[in-house]
């Protein structure tokens, strides 16, 4: 029974890309194609690119991904809680308050440590 | 539909499958075609904000402008950097639009028209939405362009940051309705949740706008800073795909807001005359869409450090507080687990609305204090900078 | 849907998952490896749907693809040879292979009726209570929510999870905080922000 609803979603995953590929394929068929070496260079404001972009990068975004991951896992617990909330007592709310408070403390610590600053 | 297919000799399973496949095609094509109209609406409204007329040559009121543009972009040459990583490069625009289009699979258009009424609908929205982040990384990295890569990193930082308050604000309607199914959430809104939890709607719209990378949060494609963003190396229809994806995303955000907070297809007689619900949904969505364009046209672009500060130091704590306050009041009021009519919903809605007013006042005070401290900080720094300058000026005399 | 349709979907998902998992370890391009990993994780989400556990499927995508795989890609960017990994074999490949075989046998023995036949079930086997996904109650996610906050059941693990997450966040903050990043001797200016 549950799976029946998912047939539609599964078909969407299969047929959706087809709908999107059609205009691209159409363009491939209809559009002109006259490549020249300069046209095919990477566009970096007109200056000639030096080397490839696939280099070692210092990703200062790493910390945001880490914090995001922590909050994402937190949400795993919050979803069932929110869903069942109407059936739960006030006690469940206090448990969630503690749960969230611990995370907020950690977030404030991260903030005070200066890890959330853009460098 | 299924009956007809069985009549022409298909087995029941196959008939269901074909009917569902047709449903997919209709919903997907509707989403894509509506985007063309959405682009026209957006251009017309934006033009009015800027005291222009907007598209007005192709067709009545320029209505066919988007179609002309679509034909044009299909006929454009696809200029491809010769160093690209082909597979991810070609897949990225499709995945980008697909991640938005897949949301339409669970949208209830009326009381009866719904593709898949999943019992985890809201979670599904979040899940397929997060695939968009992957598309951004794929596009940025496979383009083999430093600007594309740098802006993809920025985009990822923005997308994943704003996903947190968005999902937390999504939990509020889930909690009030006691269901993850979008259809059930629509049906539980005897009074639109907008009146009960305006703060949640605001958080949802702000973070949704940021997820979409438009309005004041359009630094993903800040033309003056990083050329065009992660899709700089794309041209022709592949660029068009990102463009369609962005507009579809904006409209999908409006539809979701209409469904989760404005009562979706609900309206007078919507339960009796089924297609009427579809009209209500579209009207509500277009209204939200207008508000989003309004915001986009009014506010200047924010800086990336402000953007991330605003999220982690303001929006995330606020959304958590908001969720817990709503949860607390919801539990405090009697019989909130069995609201079956307008009269039942009236009391809780009023209480929550008043609580939201208090919260808005608190937030306004909080922001004022923050701005005051920020200003003092900047002025103190300016004084330090100004002093040596005066000293040198005096020495020069 | 009848059994055969599910079996076909299961087979397709298996090919997708195992195939992309194989590509993760054989490709020399780390970025591609990360993308294949996403595909493999996506296949696993498909299995969860087949098992009538859509909640797990959703979070498989949100957490593993949306967060962990993205994190892996950001980490991959930090390595000097993203596109051309010099060697694909680890120096300890023999140990790894042995461990993989042991873990596979363990999983196999827990998840299949083999152990039942040997007569040591109850302490060892997985003891599935549901034979078919169709038997899973539709309210399972809601039940999970109730079980999580029930003091008789999972209240303590639930709160401990929060403590664990707090530890993770503080660890992350320590890793990247400006003071930790700067040179020990060099004078630095930090604490500018607020």
Rounded Cα gap, residues B97 and B32, in angstroms? 10
**Cβ B127–C62 below 8 Å, yes or no?**
yes
Domain that holds residue B88: 76-389
Q: What is the pLDDT of residues A53-108, one digit of tens each?
A: 666 666 667 788 888 898 988 888 888 898 888 888 788 888 889 889 988 888 88
Segment A108-113 mean pLDDT? 84
HEC profile for B249-310?
Answer: HHHHHHHHHHHHHCCCCCCCCCCCCHHHHHHHHHHHHHHHHHHHHHHHHHCCCCCHHHHHHH
Segment B98-125 mean pLDDT? 87
Asked if the structure places residue A31 within a domain, the reply is yes
Give the percent of chain B with pLDDT over 70: 92
Residue C167 predicted with pLDDT over 80: yes
What's the confidence (pLDDT) of residue B381?
A: 85
What's the confidence (pLDDT) of residue A57?
A: 65
> For residue C185, what pLDDT band results from cuts at 50, 70 and 90?
very low
Give the percent of chain C with pLDDT over 70: 69
* Closest of B211, B213, B239, B229 to residue B90, by C-alpha: B239
Q: Which residue has the tokens 């408070």?
A: A101
Asked if the structure places residue A53 within a domain, the reply is yes
Residue A49 predicted with pLDDT over 80: no
* Closest of B254, B248, B246, B257 to residue B220, by C-alpha: B246
Does the interface predicted TM-score (ipTM) exceed 0.90? no
Spell out which residues of chain B touch residue A39, defining contact as CB-CB under 8 Å: 79
**Cβ A31–B237 below 8 Å, yes or no?**
yes
Asked if the structure places residue B57 within a domain, the reply is no
Helix (H, G, I), strand (E, B) or coil at C157: helix
Number of domains in chain A: 1
Reading the block at residue B236, the tokens are 């022709």
Closest chain C residue to the Cα of A104, Cα to Cα: C166
Whether chain B has a CB inside 8 Å of the CB on C66: the answer is yes
Q: The domain that contains A20 carries what CATH number?
A: 1.20.58.1610
- Per the CB < 8 A criterion, the answer to whether B208 and B253 are in contact is yes
What's the confidence (pLDDT) of residue B202?
A: 93
Rounded Cα gap, residues C108 and C106, in angstroms? 5
Helix (H, G, I), strand (E, B) or coil at A44: strand
Number of domains in chain B: 1
Residue B382 predicted with pLDDT over 80: yes
Residue B310 predicted with pLDDT over 70: yes
Residue C183 predicted with pLDDT over 60: no
Q: Mutation test of the interface with chain A: which of B320, B326, B337, choosing the one with the most A Cβ atoms within 10 A? A: B320
Asked if the structure places residue A21 within a domain, the reply is yes
**Cβ C62–A98 below 8 Å, yes or no?**
no
Segment B376-391 mean pLDDT? 76
In chain A, the largest separation of any two C-alpha atoms, in whole Å, equals 70
Asked if the structure places residue B47 within a domain, the reply is no
CATH of domain C1-88: 1.20.120.1200
Q: At CA C35, angle to CA C34 and CA C40, rounded to 5?
A: 95
> For residue B289, what pLDDT band results from cuts at 50, 70 and 90?
very high
Spell out which residues of chain B touch residue C142, defining contact as CB-CB under 8 Å: 178
Q: Mutation test of the interface with chain C: which of A1, A4, A5, A6, choosing the one with the most C Cβ atoms within 10 A? A: A6
Domain that holds residue A100: 2-112
Asked if the structure places residue A12 within a domain, the reply is yes
If you ran DSSP here, which 8-state letter would residue B311 be given?
I
Rounded Cα gap, residues B211 and B221, in angstroms? 13
Asked if the structure places residue B52 within a domain, the reply is no
Residue C190 predicted with pLDDT over 50: no
Q: Mutation test of the interface with chain B: which of A8, A58, A93, A103, choosing the one with the most B Cβ atoms within 10 A? A: A8
What's the confidence (pLDDT) of residue B224?
A: 59
Closest chain B residue to the Cα of A83, Cα to Cα: B178
Asked if the structure places residue B1 within a domain, the reply is no
Asked if the structure places residue B23 within a domain, the reply is no
Q: Which residue has the tokens 């669970």?
A: B106
Residue B122 predicted with pLDDT over 70: yes
User: H-type helices in chain B, by residue range?
Assistant: 2-7, 12-49, 65-74, 86-101, 121-142, 146-177, 182-187, 193-196, 198-212, 223-226, 236-261, 274-298, 304-310, 316-332, 342-396
Helix (H, G, I), strand (E, B) or coil at B114: strand
**Cβ B131–C59 below 8 Å, yes or no?**
no
Beta bridge partners of B114: B108
Q: Mutation test of the interface with chain C: which of B21, B141, B369, choosing the one with the most C Cβ atoms within 10 A? A: B141
Spell out which residues of chain B touch residue A82, defining contact as CB-CB under 8 Å: 171-172, 174-175, 323
Segment C136-165 mean pLDDT? 81
Of C32, C38, C138, nearest to B119 by CB-CB distance is C138
Look over chain B and give the mean of its residue pLDDT values, rounded to a whole number.
85
* Closest of B219, B280, B294 to residue B250, by C-alpha: B294
Asked if the structure places residue B196 within a domain, the reply is yes
Closest chain B residue to the Cα of A105, Cα to Cα: B317
- Per the CB < 8 A criterion, the answer to whether B276 and B270 are in contact is yes
Helix (H, G, I), strand (E, B) or coil at A47: strand
Whether chain A has a CB inside 8 Å of the CB on C70: the answer is yes
- Per the CB < 8 A criterion, the answer to whether C56 and C141 are in contact is no
Beta bridge partners of A44: A47
Q: What is the pLDDT of residues B123-163, one digit of tens each?
A: 999 999 889 889 988 888 888 887 888 888 888 888 888 99
Beta bridge partners of B108: B114
Of B119, B124, B134, nearest to C38 by CB-CB distance is B134
DSSP-assigned states of every residue in C25-80? HH-S-HHHHHHHHHHHHHHHHHHHHHTT-HHHHHHIIIIIIIIIIHHHHHHHHTSS
CA distance to partner chain C, nearest, from residue B31 (Å) = 23
**Cβ B133–C66 below 8 Å, yes or no?**
yes
Look over chain A and give the mean of its residue pLDDT values, rounded to a whole number.
80
For residues A74-107, one letter each, b for 16 or more C-beta atoms within 10 angstroms of the residue's C-beta and e for the rest, the string is: bbbbbbbbbbbbbebeeebbebbeebbebbeebb
């Amino acid at each position: 029974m549950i799976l029946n609803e998912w047939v539609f979603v599964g078909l969407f995953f299969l047929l959706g890309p087809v709908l999107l590929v059609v205009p691209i394929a159409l363009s491939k068929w209809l559009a002109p194609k006259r490549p020249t070496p300069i046209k095919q260079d990477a566009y970096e404001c007109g200056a000639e690119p030096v080397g490839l972009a696939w280099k070692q990068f210092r990703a200062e975004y790493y910390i945001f991904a880490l914090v995001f991951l922590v909050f994402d896992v937190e949400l795993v617990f919050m979803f069932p809680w929110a869903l069942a909330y109407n059936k739960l007592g006030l006690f469940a709310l206090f448990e969630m308050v503690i749960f969230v408070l611990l995370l907020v403390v950690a977030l404030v610590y991260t903030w005070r440590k200066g890890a959330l600053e853009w460098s | 539909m299924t009956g007809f297919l069985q009549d022409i000799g298909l087995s029941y399973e196959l008939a269901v499958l074909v009917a569902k496949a047709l449903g997919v095609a209709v919903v997907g094509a509707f989403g894509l075609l509506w985007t063309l109209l959405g682009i026209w609406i957006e251009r017309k409204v934006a033009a009015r904000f800027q005291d222009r007329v907007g598209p007005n040559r192709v067709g009545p009121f320029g209505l066919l402008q988007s179609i002309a543009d679509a034909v044009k972009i299909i006929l454009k040459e696809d200029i491809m950097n010769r160093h690209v990583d082909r597979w991810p490069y070609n897949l990225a625009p499709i995945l980008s639009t697909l991640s938005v289009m897949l949301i339409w699979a669970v949208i209830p258009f009326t009381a009866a028209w719904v593709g898949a009424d999943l019992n985890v609908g809201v979670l599904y929205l979040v899940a397929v939405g997060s695939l968009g982040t992957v598309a951004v990384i794929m596009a940025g990295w496979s383009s083999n362009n430093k600007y594309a890569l740098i802006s993809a990193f920025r985009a990822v930082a923005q997308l994943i940051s704003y996903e947190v308050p968005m999902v937390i604000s999504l939990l509020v309607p889930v909690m009030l309705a006691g269901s993850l199914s979008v259809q059930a959430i629509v049906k539980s809104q005897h009074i639109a949740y907008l009146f009960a939890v305006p703060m949640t709607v605001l958080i949802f719209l702000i973070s949704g706008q940021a997820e979409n990378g438009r309005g004041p949060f359009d630094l993903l494609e800040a033309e003056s800073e990083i050329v065009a963003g992660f899709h700089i190396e794309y041209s022709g229809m592949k660029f068009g795909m990102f463009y369609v994806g962005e507009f579809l995303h904006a409209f999908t955000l409006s539809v979701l807001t209409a469904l989760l907070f404005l009562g979706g297809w609900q309206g007078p007689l919507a339960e009796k005359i089924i297609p009427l619900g579809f009209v209500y949904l579209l009207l509500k969505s277009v209204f939200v869409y207008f508000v989003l364009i309004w915001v986009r046209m009014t506010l200047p672009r924010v800086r990336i450090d402000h953007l991330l500060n605003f999220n982690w130091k303001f929006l995330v704590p606020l959304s958590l507080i908001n969720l817990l306050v709503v949860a607390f009041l919801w539990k405090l009021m009697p019989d909130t687990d069995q609201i079956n009519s307008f009269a039942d919903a009236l009391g809780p809605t009023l209480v929550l609305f008043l609580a939201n007013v208090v919260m808005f006042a608190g937030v306004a005070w909080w922001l004022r204090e923050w701005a005051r401290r920020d200003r003092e900080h900047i002025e103190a720094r300016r004084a330090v900078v100004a002093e040596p300058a005066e000293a040198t000026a005096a020495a020069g005399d | 849907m009848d059994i055969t349709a599910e079996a076909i979907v299961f087979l397709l998902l298996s090919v997708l998952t195992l195939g992309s998992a194989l590509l993760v370890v054989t490709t020399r391009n780390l970025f591609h490896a990360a993308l294949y990993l996403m595909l493999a994780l996506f296949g696993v989400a498909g299995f969860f749907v087949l098992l009538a556990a859509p909640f797990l499927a959703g979070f498989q995508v949100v957490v593993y693809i949306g967060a962990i795989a993205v994190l892996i890609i950001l980490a991959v960017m930090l390595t000097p040879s993203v596109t051309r990994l010099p060697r694909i074999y680890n120096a300890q490949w023999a140990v790894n292979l042995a461990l993989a075989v042991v873990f596979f046998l363990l999983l196999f023995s827990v998840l299949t009726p083999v152990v039942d036949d040997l007569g040591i079930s109850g302490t060892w086997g997985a003891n599935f209570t549901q034979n078919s996904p169709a038997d899973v109650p539709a309210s399972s996610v809601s039940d999970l929510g109730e079980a999580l906050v029930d003091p008789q059941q999972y209240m303590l693990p639930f709160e401990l999870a929060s403590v664990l997450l707090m530890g993770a966040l503080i660890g992350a903050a320590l890793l990247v905080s400006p003071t930790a990043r700067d040179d020990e001797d060099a004078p630095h200016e930090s604490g500018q922000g607020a």
